[in-house]
Amino acid sequence: MISRKHHKIVFSFFMALFMSGIMSFVISVFNVGLVTNIITLWLQAWGFAFIIAFPTILIVSPVVHKLVSLVLHEETNP
């Protein structure tokens, strides 16, 4: 198993994997339709999308965490 100290990297990896997979499939079907070779087209698009998504998530996630902290207010427990 991977150490908990690598949580951010592992989280970013899986987030990039799932999001790039889902989005590349949706965009591939949108652009070319359900053609006979859609799986091949999708897997090629997914590979490229993941290469972009993983480092992007690593770079952008600290900014997103700060934005979320600004938008949410602290709840007080009675």
Kindly report, residue by residue over 28-40, the tens digit of the pLDDT: 999 999 999 999 9
Residue 53 lies inside a defined structural domain of this protein? yes
Query: Which 3 state secondary structure label does DSSP give 9?
Result: helix
Residue 57 lies inside a defined structural domain of this protein? yes
What does the alpha-carbon distance between residue 15 and residue 50 come to, in Å, rounded to a whole number?
Answer: 10
Domain that holds residue 36: 4-71
pTM above 0.85, yes or no: no
In Å, how far are 30, 71, 72, 73, 75 from 78, measured between CA atoms? 50, 22, 18, 16, 10
How many domains in the chain? Answer: 1
Torsion of CA 17, 52, 2, 11, to 10 degrees: -60
The pLDDT score that the predictor gives to residue 74 is 81
Residue 59 lies inside a defined structural domain of this protein? yes
Residue 76 lies inside a defined structural domain of this protein? no
